[in-house]
Amino acid sequence: MSFVLGFHPEAAAEVECVTGDYEARLIGLGARFRSEVESACSAIVQHPLLWRLRPAGYRRVNLPGFPYYIAFISDEQQALVIAVAHSSRHPDYFKSRMP
């Protein structure tokens, strides 16, 4: 059985929005941000239980070089990215996305 990684629709929209914002600031910066997201997602697929479980019930992966993190919920067979959040934003804004 393969590990499945999915994105909440609002989390996918956050990736697109932030990528566009960074690309508008500097050509190539949006691509670099997307690459960091993809690397973090690969790490989640390989070791989904590596990051500590937060009291709210999600795990968090910081994106190197950017003030963003990926919040996800998982078990040993699947993960759902529930937010790609700015580290200065209120940490609970995406809780309503959790199943």
Supply the range of the domain harboring residue 77: 4-91
Provide the domain count of the chain.
1
> Tokens 């999915």 appear where?
6
Task: Provide the CATH number for the domain around residue 10.
Answer: 3.30.2310.20
pLDDT in tens, 62-78: 999 999 999 999 987 89
Output the furthest CA–CA distance in the chain (Å, rounded): 42
3-state secondary structure of 54: coil
Computed over every residue of the chain, the mean pLDDT equals: 94
Residue 1 clears pLDDT 80, i.e. is over it:
no
**pTM (2 d.p.):** 0.92
